[in-house]
Amino acid sequence: MKKKTMLELHRVDAEQYSHIEKLPITVVLDNVRSEMNVGSVFRTADAFLIERICLCGITAVPPKPEIHKTALGAENTVPWTHYASAAEAIAQLRQQGYRICAVEQVHGSISLERFSPEPGQRLAIILGNEVKGVSQEAVDASDCCIEIPQYGTKHSLNIANTAAIVMWHLSSHILL
């Protein structure tokens, strides 16, 4: 097997990317402390045509060298907005007709493999702090909570890994 060239991958440039229709998914980062995790979420959001990212609370905003190190320029292609809190972002997204879904381990959560967005539904996916997870305030304001099944000794995944799994799952359902 031979690796594909960039030409064979049919990648677009930043200008072309800005004109491509995006998926009706917004990612909300609730007090994410690692700039490298933020950058990774930007890069994954670019890969899966996520429409935008809401950076909330202490979550770092571009331009930052550590964000750029993992985003590799995706911080310039994926639109973003900063909010003082996730609650502020959620309130605005709800007014815009989004279904608010926290990715968190709670009683009554929906296992990711059973979660399918309704056709045409706009989703806001909340991802939380590396240690504390999604704030209780954001969980309380959510329409549902999604949980990734896990079977080992650790109770959670890194936020960048979680973001990638959830964005891939949602994009695969929306693009089908």
Instruction: Say what the pTM is.
Output: 0.96
Crossing angle of helices 35-47 and 159-174, in 10° steps, is 10
Question: How buried is residue 32: exposed, middle or buried, by Cβ count under 10 Å (0-12/13-18/19+)?
Answer: buried
Query: Which domains are present in the chain?
Result: 15-174 (3.40.1280.10)
Start-to-end Cα distance in the chain: 28
The secondary structure element, H or E, covering residue 97 is none
The percent helix, strand, coil of the chain (3-state, each to 5) is: 40, 20, 40
- Token digits for 44? 């994954």
- pLDDT tens-digit profile of 112-160? 999 999 888 999 999 999 999 999 999 999 999 999 999 999 989 999 9
What number is the average pLDDT over the span 18-25? 96
Is residue 34 predicted with pLDDT exceeding 70? yes
Is residue 39 predicted with pLDDT exceeding 70? yes
Give 109-155 as a DSSP string.
PEEGGG--PPTT--EEEEEEBTTTBS-HHHHHT-SEEEE----SS-S
User: What is the pLDDT, as a whole number, of residue 166?
Assistant: 98
